[in-house]
Amino acid sequence: MTARAAAPAIAAIAIAAATACSGAPSPPPDPPAGPAGDITVFAASSLAAVFTTLSGQLEKAHPGTRVKFSFAGSTDLLTQLTQGAPADVFASADEASMGRAVGAGLMRGAPEVFATNTLTIITRPGNPHGVADFADLARPGLAVVVCAPQVPCGAAAAKLGRLTGVTLTPASEESTVTDVVGKVISGAADAGLVYLTDARAAGDKVTEVTIPLADAASNSYPVGVLAESRNPSAAESFVELLTGPTGRGALADAGFEIP
């Protein structure tokens, strides 16, 4: 090898040696893998909009994770769980349903209350029947829909009735609060009792009439990972997202109160 040909090789060796001696950092290791896989969340129907938004954020943050939902009345969901329906997370619209889930040994640990919700009155746009307060819902000829008494929103309506001394004779009792909203929007009912969050989601399709004593009958929403979860890591990640700053912000935007 001539001196001219050897020069580049010698220079390359010198550069490599200098780099090694300089202590240049090696590339960082790959970050540890996060939760992945499918989870199924059983949640009260009033949580549908917020939970759907949060699931997209979880799936984006943890590729390979997919969240599936079953939204229904809390008591219906509890019945399904006690009958062996597979799920990973349970979020109830009341503490009574969650208490029964805990008593049946369905929960992995202690559930956490993450939000509260309050009833309000909705009417068709413009409030054509002039509903002004809870007592007006007992007027003859007014078609009022409420949740069934075994559903959390129905239990809250019954409590409001006891607090105000007003007895309602509803045209129908629905299994979910979303069904109440649907009947008012469609014109099948003149007024309905729903959560504040559902009234806000309905926008200008309804007119809202606030109830002064409603806070005394508000419902607390607990959530927890189920004992038979097939993917507890991803289930815990969903609960952490819900109860953390991102989830709390989304819940507040939707009209929930944050404890």
Rounded to an integer, the average pLDDT of 174-185 is 96
User: pLDDT at position 36, please?
Assistant: 75
Residue 152 placed within a domain? yes
Rounded to an integer, the average pLDDT of 171-198 is 96
Provide the domain limits for residue 164: 119-217
How confident is the model over 106-147, as pLDDT tens digits?
A: 999 999 999 999 999 999 999 999 999 999 999 999 999 999
| CATH number of the domain encompassing residue 49 | 3.40.190.10
What string of DSSP letters covers 133-194? SGGGGGSTT--EEEE-TTSHHHHHHHHHHHHHTPPP--SEEESSHHHHHHHHHHTS-SEEEE
Same domain, 108 and 126: no
Is the pLDDT at 173 greater than 70? The verdict is yes
Same domain, 161 and 46: no
Number of domains in the chain: 2
Which structure tokens are listed for 184?
A: 């008012």
**d(Cα 48, Cα 231) in Å, to the nearest integer?**
21
How confident is the model over 77-112, as pLDDT tens digits?
A: 999 999 999 999 999 999 999 999 999 999 999 999
Which structure tokens are listed for 90?
A: 């349970």
Question: What is the DSSP code (8-state) at residue 257?
Answer: B
Higher local confidence (pLDDT), 21 or 187: 187
149 phi/psi in degrees, rounded to 5: -60, -25
**d(Cα 149, Cα 204) in Å, to the nearest integer?**
28
Same domain, 191 and 172: yes
The whole-model pTM stands at 0.82
